[in-house]
Structure 1
Amino acid sequence: MDEFLCVVSAPFKQHATDRISIRDFEFALSFGLKWMSPENASKVRDTALALRLLEADENKLVPTFDIGKVEIPRGFRPSEKIFHERPLIEQIMAMIAACSGMDNRNVAALISRKQETLGDMVDIEIAALVVAREIGCDISRIYPKVLADMFPNME
């Protein structure tokens, strides 16, 4: 399972709820689980919202994926890499995994097959967007990032 999904799921699992306040989400990551600083917990929240893994509803955070499908391994502790900007393809894959409940390996296989079907004429990120669209994932928030990545000199 995607490491970032484990981190985002943990506060909900810890509180046994499907809605949690922003404060409690960040508190669980930083003080409850002792995984990160409060600043990094805020970064996780912001990234999860940007990737549409979480939605803000009033003052509560709500996962857009089934947290019951996320298994957090015993003794799990996130690595430092979750605080760095992830490559675009990893961001898209995380969104597809969250939407579909598939693991990253299956998502990668789907994307690879789609790219082959398209005759390897499109970048892997575009093939991933097609896969996401075909399985019904709303990933519209990432379109501007993909466009900026594909055409960096466009304004």
Structure 2
Amino acid sequence: MTLQITIAAPFRHTRKTSLRRNELVYYYALDRKWMNTDQAAVLLRHAEEAGLLRQENGVFSILFDPATVTIPIGFRPSSTIFETNDPAQDLIARITKAAGVPETDIVAEMNKIIRDQFCGNLLPPAALVLLAKKYHVPYEDLREALISAVKK
């Protein structure tokens, strides 16, 4: 949610639906002083990956209605906006919780499946889905994120 608020802020402030890269970096780094210019570039990349922005010829268009986002008075984004959600890590955590074993055991079991059953020809996210099925852990909500992680 913080990422969405951070992305909506310059569009609400300027009342525009598209802004150039340099306008966004200026807003985040120099106008608001929320981050440095490198962090602003990372923020824009994360927003694109999250489906909040679309870039076309150096112009970023917002993919949701910024008017639907409430920006609190005195808002300042936290450092969590720079963290990426790793669907594989999320699934490992779910399996660990369901199996009641340490995370290292789940990773070892994943590696064993990859090595022994597939001769090293299976990607870790796919092995994690097999483990999720084995331990009856729901993973359907992570399916699209896992598929896009495999495609990268």
RMSD of aligned alpha carbons: 2.5
Q: How does 1:66-145 map to 2 (within 5 A)?
A: 66-88=65-87, 121=136, 123-124=138-139, 126-127=140-141, 143-145=147-149
User: Relative to structure 1, is the Cα distance of residues 127 and 67 closer, same or farther in structure 2, using a 3 angstrom cutoff?
Assistant: same
Q: Percent identity?
A: 22
Q: Could you tell me whether the CA contact under 8 Å between 2:87 and 2:145 is conserved in 1?
A: no
Q: Which has the higher contact order (CA 8 A, sep 6+)?
A: 1
> If the length of structure 2 is used for normalisation, what is the TM-score?
0.60
Following superposition, the deviation at residue 70 of structure 1 comes to 0.7
User: Relative to structure 1, is the Cα distance of residues 63 and 38 closer, same or farther in structure 2, using a 3 angstrom cutoff?
Assistant: same
Q: What is the CA–CA distance in structure 1 between the aligned matches of 2:46 and 2:71, rounded to whole Å?
A: 19
Q: What is the CA–CA distance in structure 2 between the aligned matches of 1:141 and 1:22, rounded to whole Å?
A: 26
**Partner of 2:95 in structure 1?**
none
Bigger Rg, structure 1 or 2: 2
User: Relative to structure 1, is the Cα distance of residues 88 and 37 closer, same or farther in structure 2, using a 3 angstrom cutoff?
Assistant: same
Residue-pair matches, total:
105
- The residue matched to 2:17 in structure 1 has which SS? coil
Q: Confirm or deny that 1:18 pairs with 2:13.
A: no
Q: Could you tell me whether the CA contact under 8 Å between 1:53 and 1:64 is conserved in 2?
A: yes
Q: Confirm or deny that 1:45 pairs with 2:44.
A: yes
> If the length of structure 1 is used for normalisation, what is the TM-score?
0.59
Q: Could you tell me whether the CA contact under 8 Å between 1:51 and 1:141 is conserved in 2?
A: no
Q: What is the CA–CA distance in structure 2 between the aligned matches of 1:142 and 1:41, rounded to whole Å?
A: 26
5+ residue gaps, structure 1 = 90-119, 130-139, 149-155
Q: What is the CA–CA distance in structure 1 between the aligned matches of 2:137 and 2:63, rounded to whole Å?
A: 28
